Amino acid sequence: MRKRIFGLFLMIGWAFSGCATEPGTVYDSYKELKDMRWVANDSPKFDFDIEDVNRPYDIFLNVRNDMDYPFRNLYVSYALTDAKGDTLSSELKNIMLFEPKTGYPYGTGMGSVKDLREALVKSVKFSAPGPYSISLRQMMRKDTLDGISAVGIRVSVVKPQAEK
């Protein structure tokens, strides 16, 4: 019974935390992965719009993982594309989910599920207003990666130095 009540409070907390966006956030979305497994050929795609091309943007990767995730890191490749399908930026990133010596998770959250936000692209300037997309692929040496329940993207306006 206590586990059910705790689970209910955890879900309510996630719902409320998902509603509160920080100022300057233009896009923030997660895609749930079936059965907490990220299959190598599953490439979640996130579509967002940019209206103000006069400001730079940071693009972050959001990872929701379980404490039972079998590795301390996650290799992810991304491709940022414009409306024509032209690739603006792509890179392979090594995202550390756990501290290497202690195994302590870098993410935040209650219980065994942790959320981590890591920068993918810093201070990107878009050339034209309109739709853009970013796709993600897990690049670990396993076809099926257990312990990742969701991945997401956040696009935020870079804050001027005085605001930081």
Per-residue pLDDT of 16-49, as tens digits, reads 444 456 789 999 999 999 999 999 999 999 999 9
pLDDT of residue 21: 63
Partners of 150 in the β-ladder: 32, 64
Distance CA 93, CA 77 (A): 6
Question: Minimal CA–CA distance to 52: which of 130, 120, 152?
Answer: 130
> Would you say residue 2 has pLDDT above 80?
no
pTM of the model: 0.83
pLDDT digit string (tens) for 78-126?
A: 999 999 999 999 999 999 999 999 999 999 998 899 999 999 999 999 9
Question: In whole angstroms, what separates CA 95 from the centre of its chain?
Answer: 11
> Would you say residue 14 has pLDDT above 50?
no
Contact 151, 38 (CB under 8 A): yes
Q: Which residue has the higher pLDDT, 8 or 30?
A: 30
Residue 155's identity, in one-letter code, is V
Pairing label, strands 113-124, 87-96: unpaired
Domains of the chain with CATH codes: 24-158 (2.60.120.380)
Q: Where do we find the tokens 């935020």? A: 156
Show the tokens assigned to 87: 């690739």
Distance CA 153, CA 124 (A): 15
